[in-house]
A and B are shown apart, each in its own frame.
Chain A
Amino acid sequence: TQLLEQSPQFLSIQEGENLTVYCNSSSVFSSLQWYRQEPGEGPVLLVTVVTGGEVKKLKRLTFQFGDARKDSSLHITAAQPGDTGLYLCAGYNFNKFYFGSGTKLNVKP
């Protein structure tokens, strides 16, 4: 079983604050994806990281893949209410995607 644990599970912050979401596993993944999902909709792909130690930036979002390709983090700078949603990480191995438990983010105006 390729388990991915996300922390925190829930996060409620004020607009303008910074936050980091973590995705950890004891398994090594060939790549890792981050998604954001809004209620009643499918997840939307934010980024794919492939190389250990890789850092990718998407506007105010910074994604990092751990050196050992077992963990990843998502950092949001100056969060906005539009960032509210369920953030999911997913590791890819053996032709499957294994999803993390999810982090529910609420950004209050």
Chain B
Amino acid sequence: GAVVSQHPSWVICKSGTSVKIECRSLDFQATTMFWYRQFPKQSLMLMATSNEGSKATYEQGVEKDKFLINHASLTLSTLTVTSAHPEDSSFYICSARRNQETQYFGPGTRLLVL
């Protein structure tokens, strides 16, 4: 399988601050990366599709101004949670698409907003 990393693996921040999460594909180039959110004991919810060199595509109900996505290179996508609030606390997972029908996931980032 391919290797995708995320950083940080966990973060605690105060309400109102912004948090940036990095997603890197380490052994292949990914023109497309995905950002998911997962609540405890639930499945993954797709937040947005990150496209290298262009704007991200957000799923319905996901605020693009709140969850800023930048895919500046073929190996790096970032998700910035702006003005974080306690309800943004969650497990955020990215994936990198290797080919048309295969994606590899990062280890996830646990965010806790106090």
Contacts and interface: CB of A to CB of B under 8 A. Distances in A.
B108 A50 contact: no
Among the interface residues B43, B93, B104, which one has the most CB atoms of the partner chain A within 10 A? Answer: B43
Interface majority SS on B: helix, strand, loop or mixed? strand
Given A42-B93, A88-B43, A48 B104 contact: no
A101 B43 contact: yes
B90 interface: no
A68 B34 CA distance: 27
A99 interface: yes
Among the interface residues A30, A43, A96, A101, which one has the most CB atoms of the partner chain B within 10 A? Answer: A43
A106 interface: no
Given A40-B110, A43-B93, A99 B105 contact: no
Contacts of B46: 96-99
Interface of B: 1, 4, 6, 32, 34, 41-46, 49, 91, 93, 95, 100-108, 110
Given A42-B107, A104-B41, 17 more contacts: A33-B102, A35-B105, A42-B95, A44-B1, A45-B104, A88-B43, A92-B101, A95-B32, A96-B46, A97-B34, A97-B46, A97-B103, A98-B46, A99-B45, A101-B42, A102-B42, A102-B43
Interface of A: 30-31, 33, 35, 40-45, 48, 50, 88, 92, 95-102, 104
